[in-house]
Chains A and B, each alone.
Chain A
Amino acid sequence: MSDAGRFGIDEQPVFVIDQSRCIGCEACVQACMECGTHRGRSLIHLDRIDRAASPQTAPMVCMHCENPTCAQVCPADAIKQTEGGIVQSSLKPRCIGCSNCVLACPFGVPKYMAEIDQMMKCDMCVDRTSEGLKPMCASVCPSEALWFGTIEQFRSRRRGALVRDFLFGRQVVRTKVYTVVDDPTAGPVDVLGVVNTSWIDDPFALEGFL
């Protein structure tokens, strides 16, 4: 394929999420709605972390856990994982709308859609990725907070190392989706270990105003 957005069958592109790059533009939210498997519905999350204090925003796609907590807590066996490791959205005939997955997912990903009484979540644009195309959100993301490509491409383009282990209390969760850290030897991303991050002290030199 001539189009640079399409990967060959023997390439192994990976999904990378790097929340630190997010600028909150919501291109991903808009593009998610264009995904063929759930047109008209956006399944990605984009959160303002603390708008009153900061412009920080962060996207969240399904991380596609190797041992998906959502699938395990599903009483209806409605969440399946493909051999490629993609944790699919709930199977429509099976999902009984109980929201166990919503409450269990350590990453806060599944969405319960009340009007159709069903959970839906990101399936890594399986209509696109199964054809070697980038997912919608990672195609459009202007800041490359959401990125899809081969590990070699990542290394040639970006700083940082790719990791995919997250620590939630005592639970280590390994995911198919990678994230970016400066130092990969510092262990999994310790989700509960960080209270807040600040980047600039007193951006507006407030002493002048008070």
Chain B
Amino acid sequence: MARPPIDEAALIGRYGPHLNEAPPGGWDAGIDADRMVATHCCFCGQQCGIKLKVAGNQVVGFEPWFDFPFNEGKLCPKGVKRYLQGSHPDRLLHPMERDPEAPGGFRRVTWDQALDRVTAEIRRIQGAFGQDAFAMLSGVSLTNEKSYLVGKFARLALGTANLDYNGRYCMVSAGAGNKKALGIDRASNPWSDIPLADVVWTAGTNIAETFPITTSYIWRARDHGARLIVQDPRLVPHARTADLFLPVRPGTDSALFGAVLHELIRHNWLDHAFIEAHTNDFEAAAAAVADMTPAWAARVTGVPAVRIEQTAEWWGTSATGMLLHARGIEQHTKGVDNVLAAINLGLATGKYGKPGCGVTTITGQGNGQGGREHGHKCDQLPGNRDISNADHRAHVASVWGCDVAEIPGKGLPALEIIEAIHDGRIKGLLSICFNPLVSSPDTSFTREALDRLEFYGVIDFFLSESGHHADIVLPGSLHEEDEGTATSGEGRILRIKAAVDPPGEARRDWEILVDIAQRLGRGQYFDYASTHEIFEELRLASAGGTADYRGATWERIEAEHGIFWPVPEEGHPGTPRLYEGGRFYHPDGRARFHAVRYEPPGEVIDADYPVWLTTGRVVSQYLSGTQTRRIAALVAQYPEPLCEMHPVLAERLGITDGDWVTVTSRRGTMQLPALVVATIRPDTVFIPYHWPGDRAANQLTHRVVDPISKMPEFKVAAVRVERAGGAVETTDVRDLSLHGGAP
């Protein structure tokens, strides 16, 4: 039973999150850096360049990396304080085994004891319940090399089909939509195209808080005279300056997109030549939006018809334009539909394959792009290959030197793995870089599932909330403790440099996996002496796939400040902008329109649960907060979740700013302070999701998924909001001038 061994408060007392306030030696210590290591930030898909200052085996500070072209030294607050995750008091330094008798609930064991136990449990569970009864969950904070290795490890060492990754909660709707329509899962453009656009349309992306560096690209577009359209239920910071704000009701994005396509067709703001030459199925898409008038869409989305018409005019009549979307339209039961509807708008106006033109997702997680390409996704093999495709399987089997039959088929996606654990089909779990207890929808269900595991092995650098349930904890490596590559949201392959060695007995993640594989008697497939060797194999495995890394060498990546894939051979310059000349990645080279009809979200408001809930992020925290909730200055910036609501709603509910409110959905209830601001739709509340336990927004979210991508609907739930009594100051609770003195 993988229940927390002791009271969770005691676990937190022992393993944190504790706050790291200052660099090693304190702020007064001065910086005697031995060396600077040019690498990347680990806290989002933009992968900003950063130089870490290293003294001995400790990262002691940072210096902006001005030469790196994507961010030119720019960093968000997470990037600035990124270096404080090292030398952290909570760092796991040795293997541990669950022991309710031990102080802290875990006892220290040797690596041999820990790995023997892991191996024995894998054998036992698979022996008793079948290969697929042992699952693995992975995460895209891992480098390409580690992601690739996890994919191979699960298939060849564990021999399980049930491997999935936390990008299931992030990128899969965009990936699925892009593959269906365009035949490839990558951003359509390098970010340098954004300033060239006449219209920049952001849909469901809080740029300022989740991709801060992208702001400067948008502002530069505005400097060149671009119009800015912002589609979001909240007036997010960059929306403040928008030429057009589309305050869309949560879950209705496809209605908005459909109405815009309707208007494009009605006014003939179409690129017929492009549609003719490079696309299929326009008629089907057009037929689907025939009734989607702006007046109809206004009723569905809450966006005034005149703004929808204006959007269509600007998008349809501008020579260039970029539509940037993110989780706001993707984390839905209609996530793939939303993405396809957005793509329809790009195809209809010919906004692909040209400077300043594109419809593109903004990848969220650190290595969300590269990580999803190389095989720890339940349905994919390296190179963005399809695990169900016989040719793809054969290629990968030839690189791996195994029999094709040894590669299991398609497994369960992440949320279904949790559900299978809950209903007993999966008995054992190994996770790396995944904190499902915070990031999965319906927290209490996830907790019940983890409790039911017969064995849970965790590889991580801090003990996350999910790790409380572990039977064995294996201390892995931080981003800055291993060499490798990552691929940014632009599709740019980057070099991640090791700045320090793992401290204590902690080991590099790949070494841990290789060790387990050897103990499972599968060492012949995992004969690596370095991460570089893994990358060399990855190049071969990806060769010929859409995500083709064959021509990318570590040396070139470093020398060229990254290479955009596909890069099919060594002399190939890489492919910053996709679809040039209207060539898409389906076998016939043509893109596909899709007929997208509006369907309501998985849960809609009613008399009992009359308010929409949408969830998201704040700028100072990253994902489930395992790293960022341990850095004092970031925690100070936004210490606790707040429930954002419009004064109109607040007044109706008798709530004033700072009141504690109770928010209840069909899954659970939570209490938190209200932040009453006129920057959110009056029928919607927003709660950021980075916190665990009784502060987890996912206590309220709905375990319902997109039928294609299996993405849970984090962005829509129906809730009831009540005043709970008691008050704190919210608007001013965050001290903007950290450590400041005077007014």
- The answer to whether A20 touches B80, judged by C-beta atoms less than 8 angstroms apart, is no
- The answer to whether A114 touches B741, judged by C-beta atoms less than 8 angstroms apart, is yes
- The answer to whether B738 touches A29, judged by C-beta atoms less than 8 angstroms apart, is yes
- The answer to whether A39 touches B739, judged by C-beta atoms less than 8 angstroms apart, is no
Given A23-B237, A27-B79, are A42 and B737 neighbors across the interface (CB < 8 Å)? Answer: yes
**Chain B proximity mask over A30-51: 1 for CB below 8 Å, otherwise 0:** 1101101001111111111001
Mark out the residues of chain B between 685 and 743 whose CB falls within 8 Å of any chain A CB in the assembled complex: 731, 736-743
Could you say which of A24, A44, A47 has the most chain B C-beta atoms within 10 Å of its C-beta? Answer: A24
Could you say which of A4, A20, A36, A40 has the most chain B C-beta atoms within 10 Å of its C-beta? Answer: A40
- The answer to whether B302 touches A3, judged by C-beta atoms less than 8 angstroms apart, is no
Residues of chain A contacted by B634 (CB below 8 angstroms)? 30
Residues of chain A contacted by B73 (CB below 8 angstroms)? 5, 134, 139-140
- The answer to whether B72 touches A4, judged by C-beta atoms less than 8 angstroms apart, is yes
Contact of B736 among A48, A108, A205 (CB under 8 A): A48
- The answer to whether B237 touches A51, judged by C-beta atoms less than 8 angstroms apart, is no
**Chain A proximity mask over B57-84: 1 for CB below 8 Å, otherwise 0:** 0000110101100001111110111000
Closest-by-CB residue of B relative to A101 is B742
Mark out the residues of chain A between 101 and 141 whose CB falls within 8 Å of any chain B CB in the assembled complex: 102, 108, 110-115, 119-120, 134, 139-141
| A142 interfacial by beta-carbon distance below 8 Å | yes
A52 to B66, CA, bound (A): 36
Given A4-B67, A33-B633, A51-B677, are A143 and B247 neighbors across the interface (CB < 8 Å)? Answer: no
- The answer to whether B736 touches A29, judged by C-beta atoms less than 8 angstroms apart, is yes
Contact of A46 among B28, B679, B737, B741 (CB under 8 A): B737
**Chain A proximity mask over B615-649: 1 for CB below 8 Å, otherwise 0:** 00001100000000000011001000000001110
Mark out the residues of chain B between 215 and 263 whose CB falls within 8 Å of any chain A CB in the assembled complex: 215-216, 219-220, 222-224, 235-242, 245, 247
| B610 interfacial by beta-carbon distance below 8 Å | no
**Chain A proximity mask over B318-342: 1 for CB below 8 Å, otherwise 0:** 0000000000000000000000000
Task: Name which of A53-61, A88-96, A167-175, A185-193 contacts chain B.
Answer: A53-61
- The answer to whether A46 touches B303, judged by C-beta atoms less than 8 angstroms apart, is no
- The answer to whether B237 touches A140, judged by C-beta atoms less than 8 angstroms apart, is no
- The answer to whether B646 touches A204, judged by C-beta atoms less than 8 angstroms apart, is yes
A26 to B27, CA, bound (A): 20
Interface size grouping (class) on chain A: 35 or more
- The answer to whether B247 touches A29, judged by C-beta atoms less than 8 angstroms apart, is no
Residues of chain A contacted by B223 (CB below 8 angstroms)? 157-160
Whole-angstrom distance between the Cβ of A137 and the nearest chain B Cβ: 10
- The answer to whether B620 touches A26, judged by C-beta atoms less than 8 angstroms apart, is yes
- The answer to whether B736 touches A45, judged by C-beta atoms less than 8 angstroms apart, is yes
- The answer to whether A112 touches B742, judged by C-beta atoms less than 8 angstroms apart, is yes
Task: Name which of B5-13, B205-213, B403-411, B464-472 contacts chain A.
Answer: B205-213
Could you say which of A2, A42, A134 has the most chain B C-beta atoms within 10 Å of its C-beta? Answer: A42
Could you say which of B64, B207, B247, B633 has the most chain A C-beta atoms within 10 Å of its C-beta? Answer: B64
Given A5-B64, A23-B215, A112-B742, are A52 and B647 neighbors across the interface (CB < 8 Å)? Answer: yes
A184 to B646, CA, bound (A): 38
Residues of chain B contacted by A2 (CB below 8 angstroms)? 67
Given A34-B80, A51-B731, are A29 and B67 neighbors across the interface (CB < 8 Å)? Answer: no
Whole-angstrom distance between the Cβ of A152 and the nearest chain B Cβ: 16
Could you say which of B209, B237, B620 has the most chain A C-beta atoms within 10 Å of its C-beta? Answer: B237
- The answer to whether A24 touches B208, judged by C-beta atoms less than 8 angstroms apart, is yes
Closest-by-CB residue of A relative to B46 is A142
- The answer to whether A134 touches B679, judged by C-beta atoms less than 8 angstroms apart, is no
Contact of A47 among B213, B633, B646, B736 (CB under 8 A): B736
Residues of chain B contacted by A139 (CB below 8 angstroms)? 64, 66, 73-75
- The answer to whether A205 touches B247, judged by C-beta atoms less than 8 angstroms apart, is yes
Given A30-B633, A31-B75, A140-B80, are A42 and B242 neighbors across the interface (CB < 8 Å)? Answer: no
A112 to B742, CA, bound (A): 5
Closest-by-CB residue of B relative to A21 is B219
Contact of A5 among B31, B66, B208 (CB under 8 A): B66
A31 to B66, CA, bound (A): 15
- The answer to whether B216 touches A143, judged by C-beta atoms less than 8 angstroms apart, is yes
| A203 interfacial by beta-carbon distance below 8 Å | yes
- The answer to whether A54 touches B679, judged by C-beta atoms less than 8 angstroms apart, is yes
| A208 interfacial by beta-carbon distance below 8 Å | yes
| A206 interfacial by beta-carbon distance below 8 Å | yes
Contact of B731 among A27, A52, A120 (CB under 8 A): A52
**Chain A proximity mask over B181-220: 1 for CB below 8 Å, otherwise 0:** 0000000000000000000000000011100110110011
Residues of chain B contacted by A45 (CB below 8 angstroms)? 736-737, 740
Whole-angstrom distance between the Cβ of B12 and the nearest chain A Cβ: 25
Closest-by-CB residue of B relative to A47 is B736
Given A3-B66, A139-B64, A142-B213, are A39 and B75 neighbors across the interface (CB < 8 Å)? Answer: no
- The answer to whether A199 touches B212, judged by C-beta atoms less than 8 angstroms apart, is no
Apart from the given pairs A42-B740, A144-B216, 17 other A-B contacts in the complex at a CB distance below 8 Å: A3-B66, A5-B64, A23-B212, A23-B215, A25-B237, A30-B637, A42-B737, A55-B236, A55-B239, A102-B742, A108-B743, A120-B741, A142-B76, A142-B212, A200-B240, A200-B245, A204-B235
Instruction: List the 4 shortest-distance A-B pairs measured between CB atoms, nearest first.
Output: A40-B27, A5-B66, A23-B208, A142-B212
Residues of A within 8 A of B (CB): 2-6, 20-21, 23-27, 29-31, 33-34, 36, 39-48, 51-57, 99, 102, 108, 110-115, 119-120, 134, 139-144, 157-160, 199-200, 203-206, 208-210
Between A and B, 26 residue pairs with Cβ closer than 8 Å are A4-B66, A21-B219, A23-B237, A25-B76, A25-B208, A26-B619, A27-B79, A29-B77, A30-B634, A34-B61, A39-B28, A40-B22, A42-B740, A43-B740, A46-B737, A52-B657, A52-B731, A112-B741, A134-B73, A139-B64, A139-B73, A139-B75, A144-B219, A199-B242, A205-B302, A205-B304
